[in-house]
Structure 1
Amino acid sequence: MSKVVILSGSPSTQSRLYGLINYTTEQLQQAGAEVTLLNVVDLPAEDLVTANFNSPDVTASLALIAAADAVIVASPVYKASYSGLLKIFLDLVPQEGLRGKPVLPLFIGGTLAHLLVIDYALKPVINALGGRHILGGVYAVDQWVERLPDGAYGLYEELVARLERSVKEINELLKL
């Protein structure tokens, strides 16, 4: 069974980003992948800030990334870049920690003006970590994700189509 880790750099588990994450998780699981959600916000802040490589939580998180067949990097966009929380975690990933793994960016922001954050902010960092197979990614605008009364999320039709195309691409790469 292929292992996919979704690395969420959102400081809030109530973010609309989880509409994208939840949908992608369901699609991957239906295809037969084992999906693990790694919320950076759940890791001890002091261990992240001090780069405590001996922290059991940091060690376990890095082991998840190392064991993954594919990694999905998810973040809200703040100040024209991904979250600082995501950056502080990516700084802990070993130099070649993403080599040989397809990487799919999932980003959400308040405006289309930040669409290029994936290309200009994230891709150079992924490349520095050995990631060479960086998929096009999905950028969504907040308005395309509706919070529903039951806690679920409603997604804009075009967003669903783009997520499905990206999941299909991962499935093909992982031979699911």
Structure 2
Amino acid sequence: AVKEAVFPFARFPGVDPVLSPEMKSTGEVMGVGKTFGEAYGKANEGGSIKLPTSGKALLSVREADKQRIKLVARDLADLGFELFATGGTCDSILSAGVDCVRVNKVMEGRPHIVDMIKNDDFDLIVNTTEGKQAMLDSASIRRAALQHKISYTTTMSGGEAIVMAIQHQGEPMVVSLQELHG
């Protein structure tokens, strides 16, 4: 089982949806499944987050996450996603033998990530950051993703969980609590 907090970000346009200590959820949902991926997918769906099953994924991660993104990229490519990534992330993905298209960070000039998000070019975003400028760019990415209803995560653990959920999508298994604990 996976418990997911529900936050009302959609009601506050322009607010950075990164979680801070003063953020308060408006509720919780629980997803139950035979695997973590199935449970995570159901928890997201219960929180009104529809994970894509295909499309275009944007990957832009901090240096410390370059190794882990290779596996996420390979899994997304195997699922049929077309991959887009910023400079260093793209180099890392290519070094793993996975195709990706290089895109500009916000600070690198137009057209950049936020322009592409506003053009609805992405279905999924995995974006981890470090450093002041990257954090500022990341805030604009999160706001644009929220406004355009694009699934995104700001952690590698979140990216890995999303991949597991997409891999286990299918006909949902519905069971009562009595069946689970009977």
Query: One fold, TM greater than 0.5?
Result: no
- Say which structure is richer in strand: 1
TM-score by length of 1: 0.40
User: Which has the higher Rg, Structure 1 or Structure 2?
Assistant: 2
